[in-house]
Each structure stands twice: as C-alpha cells, then as structure tokens.
Amino acid sequence: MTKYCIVNGDDFGASHGINRGILEAHQKGILTSTSLMVNMPGAEEAASLSREAPLMSIGLHITLTNEEGVPLINFDSFRMCRAELDRQWARFIDLLERPPTHLDAHHNIHRDMRLYPLFAEMAEEKKIPLREHSQVRYFSEFYGQWDGEMHLEQISVENLCRMLQTEINEGFTELSCHPGYVDPDYVTSYSLERETELQTICNPFIKQKINELDIKLISYHKISMPLICEEFI
C-alpha cells in the first residue's frame, strides 16, 4: 500500500491571521486540508478565502468550548448539544454552499463520552469521516506546547522530517497542525507556535523529504465514508 498523508490545519475562521496562515500553508507549503470554525469572527473571511484554494478540503471544526477549554454549552443535555451541532452544520453550508468533507472538534471535544455518540451519529448520517473514527489514522504530535510551556523544538523542520519518516505509514494518515499569524485582537495561548508551524510547513526541505519518502499528499476530497474512493483501492 501507498503512504497517503492529509495535512489538516485546524481553526480556520478563528481570526484574520490564522486564515491568512492556513491559506499560505496550502499555497506555499504542504497543507492540503483545513477545518472551519463557523461561529468565530473570521468565519466569513475564511469562506471567501477558500475560493482561492479549490483543492483544499474543508471540514467542520465543531466548537463547543472557549479558548481555555471551558464548555460553552451543557454537555449533559443531549438535545441542546445535538441542536448546536446541527446549527453549526447549517452555518457551514450557508457559508460555503456545500457540505464539509470531514468532521472534527475544537480541543478534540468529540472524545467526551457524553458527546461522542452525537458526533458519530452526525458522521454516519452525513457519510463523512469523523476524526479518529475512520480509515484515516490521526497523528497530533506536531504541536508546540504542553503543560503550559512552549516547545518550539517539537515543531521544527528537523522534528517534522523525523515524524514524516517514522509516523506516516502505509494507508491514510491525518497530520494535524495549527499554522497562522499572531493577531493582536485574538487572544490565544497558542500564538508564536502557530507562526513557527507555518514556517516549518512552508520550508522547501519538507516537500523534498516527502518526495524522498514517497509520501503522497492528498486531501479529504479523496476520502469517502465508510469506503475509500475507488481510485485508491
């Protein structure tokens, strides 16, 4: 089997700087896919910018928490949570005039066992992949912060090359990332790390390494649920 890699940028729509960074990572780097936060200030701009990148797949990044991870809705209310998922789905279609190619969640909140059945139900109904629950393996270690401390070495060119060599195996892998530019009016604990990710993703040596490793960059446009598109069988 061939090694296929989807490079997905989370948080599209969060701010102007993040929108600009994701588009640049797609046009100049290895990013092939993104996930849109439909209820954030930059969502409409993101939808407009996406028209410049028709090959970039765009999923729905369900947002049920704030930047600190605090719930914005009662997770114990099945009806309320399902209504919010449906609202964000409808908002996505209003913005892009098409359904999302995949489904995931801010802070990976779909892992919460109160919410997972709702996400799984939506993915099944809409016939799209849900992060961590499809034929696409999820790899999240290209991330430059943990325990409240910055770790830029984790998102360096050298470390990404190592990850590409050791973590992108046969079959389908999603390598998640968070590229972007710092915005003075967008408060987030993950700021300089975004710009470092962007520089790494756009470094020409990364594309060279991908070619050397015979990794095929694809987007979620090439994935269907629950089967793989015929061209990859």
Compute the distance between CA of residue 24 and CA of residue 4 in angstroms, rounded to an integer. 22
pLDDT(135) > 60: yes
Q: Using a pLDDT cut of 90, give the percent of the chain over it.
A: 88
The residue among 103, 90, 96, 10 whose CA lies nearest residue 50 is 96
Q: How confident is the model at residue 224 (pLDDT cuts 50, 70, 90)?
A: low
The token pair that represents 20 in the structure block = 């600009």
Vertex 202, ends 199 and 203: CA angle to 5°? 85
Q: Encode pLDDT of 44-103 as tens digits.
A: 999 999 999 999 999 999 999 988 889 999 999 999 999 999 999 999 999 999 999 999
| Superfamily for domain range 3-232 | Glycoside hydrolase/deacetylase (3.20.20.370)
Q: Which residues pair with 6 in a beta bridge?
A: 174
Return d(Cα 107, Cα 232) in angstroms, integer.
31
The amino acid sitting at 15 is S
- Please write the tens of the pLDDT for every residue from 151-166: 999 999 999 999 999 9
pTM of this prediction? 0.94
Instruction: List, for residues 160-210, the tens digit of each pLDDT value.
Output: 999 999 999 999 999 999 999 998 878 888 999 999 999 999 999 999 999
**pLDDT at 231 > cutoff 90:** no
Q: Where are the domains of the chain?
A: 3-232
**What pLDDT digit, counting tens, does each position of 203-218 carry?**
999 999 999 999 999 9
What is the predicted pLDDT for the residue at 67? 82
Cis ω for the linkage preceding 226 (within 30 of 0): yes
pLDDT at position 229 over 70: no
128: exposed, middle or buried (Cβ count in 10 Å: 0-12, 13-18, 19+)? buried
